Amino acid sequence: MRVLKVFYSALSAWERGDKDKAILMMTGGRDDPTDYELYGRKIHEEICDKKWKPFEWMDDSCEYEVKLDVKILPWLKVTGRLDLRHLEKQKILDWKTGISSSTSFKPMQLYVYDLLNYKMTGVKCKEGYLVKVLKFKKLEMEDYSIYKLNDETRQKALDWIEGIASEMYNELI
């Protein structure tokens, strides 16, 4: 059986109907990054380099830019990059750098990364944060949203992944 390897971003692109972009991501091709993407990368790099900790619960146990790579099903491997995790405190976090507030982003990315993280570590995180970050003279947290994570959200993520990936598999392999 052939294994389909997908990134969260490719699943998300496929779901919104941008199959060409999803395929481009899966085959290693890339569009030229937009100014917004370049800005976002720069902020992510600075956060990681400085080990920025805008919340009181954050300490030196925080891990930044964690690669997640999990064989979810016999025919499916899912990869993603978790912006931050704190396994002891059972929290994960995703930085958002676009123009929208944290509440405008769907929590599915957190659910998926929590599922992948659980499959890799055995740790069931309890909270996920979407954090809107700005940079003027220094890094600033504009707003954030906190989502509960549990077995139900991990199952929701698995169902979401399997539904989209099975369509991709049937069309591409």
Q: Is residue 171 part of a domain?
A: no
Mean pLDDT, the chain, whole residue set:
94
pLDDT at 103 over 80: yes
The per-residue pLDDT for 29 is 76
Q: Give the SS3 label for residue 44.
A: helix
What does the alpha-carbon distance between residue 83 and residue 88 come to, in Å, rounded to a whole number? 16
Residue 99: pLDDT above 80?
A: no
**167 within some domain:** no
Give the pLDDT score at 34.
Answer: 85
- Residue 30 within any structural domain of the chain: no
Q: What is the pTM of this model?
A: 0.93
Is the distance from CB of 142 to CB of 134 less than 8 angstroms?
yes
Q: Is residue 141 part of a domain?
A: yes
What does the pLDDT look like over 116-159, one tens digit per residue? 999 999 999 999 999 999 988 899 999 999 999 999 999 999 99
- Provide the domain count of the chain: 1
Assigned domain for 146 exists: yes
For residue 22, is it within any domain? no
Mean per-residue pLDDT for 42-54?
95
Q: Which domain holds residue 112?
A: 35-73+80-160
